[in-house]
Structure 1
Amino acid sequence: MPSSAVIYHNPRCSTSRKTLELLRGNAIEPTVIEYLKTPPSRAEIAKLIADAGIDVRTAVRKRESLYGELNLAEASDDELLDAMAANPILIERPFVVTGKGTRLARPIDAVHDIL
């Protein structure tokens, strides 16, 4: 069991809240980063995505109205990273980091791999 974990959390998101409950249910009290209040840098976002083994487009909230407003459907990975760094609401959530790896908790079950 990892001694430490970090969750990039949005308390208004049910998936994020359930993931936090899962961690705590496994006796893990993570460092909670409310990424809308304390946004990660572009480099940190890129590292989370790479470490999670997903592509940049998977890490973008496509249902967010801003996604359409910024015409991101045809954007390059670099443009998406720039948009997420400038507008953290576009970052899909929650990302969880433990000593065993990084996962985007969509679905939440993906987190079990790194507990």
Structure 2
Amino acid sequence: MTKKYLVIGHPDCSTCKKALAWLNQHGIEYTWRNIIEDRPTAAELTQWIRESNLPMRRFFNTSGQAYRSLNLATELSEMSDEKALHLLASDGMLCKRPLVIDSEGHFVAVGFKPDEWTTKLCK
């Protein structure tokens, strides 16, 4: 059985476009989800953060306008995890993209890293 992936991103994001092209080139099946129209919930983010073994801060789009306008480079370090999680879930533009999650929830990738994807997705 072929694994299927959920890819969450922004349609205008150049990194997301590169990631989708990479997935297509490697014949990897996925479902696309627009992060603006259907942003990740706090429950989803909690699960993905746990499965990824990454700190929550890695899920923030630190180069985005929303991140900068909220001064999160400073504010985030003093924020509780609960408040940071709800902030992340409140605005899809705060999330680093693309997010790629396998159908079983055991693989979670944050951002497009071709070397990591080749190792994990091309088995």
The question of 1:39 aligning with 2:39 is answered yes
2:116 to 106, 110, 115: 110
- What's the counterpart of residue 57 of structure 1? 57
Give unmatched runs, 5+ long, in structure 1: none
- What's the counterpart of residue 80 of structure 1? 84
Check whether the contact 1:57–1:77 (CA below 8 A) recurs between aligned residues: no
> CA-to-partner distance for each residue in 1:33-75, whole Å, 9 max, x for gaps?
1111111211101222222221111110122232243343332
- Counterpart secondary structure, 1:63: coil
Shift of 1:8: 0.7
Shift of 1:82: 0.9
Cα distance in 1 between the residues matched to 2:62 and 2:69: 11
Shift of 1:23: 1.0
> CA-to-partner distance for each residue in 1:82-113, whole Å, 9 max, x for gaps?
11111111000111122561211343432223
Number of residue pairs the alignment of both structures matches: 115
Check whether the contact 2:19–2:112 (CA below 8 A) recurs between aligned residues: no
Q: Which amino acid aligns with 2:86?
A: D
Which structure 1 residue ranges, 4+ long, deviate > 4 Å from structure 2? none
The question of 1:9 aligning with 2:9 is answered yes
Cα distance in 2 between the residues matched to 1:10 and 1:108: 18
Cα distance in 2 between the residues matched to 1:102 and 1:92: 12
1:101 to 86, 96, 107: 107
CA RMSD of aligned residues (A): 2.0
Identity within the alignment, %: 26
- Counterpart secondary structure, 2:62: coil
Give unmatched runs, 5+ long, in structure 2: none
Cα distance in 2 between the residues matched to 1:64 and 1:105: 13
The higher radius of gyration belongs to 2
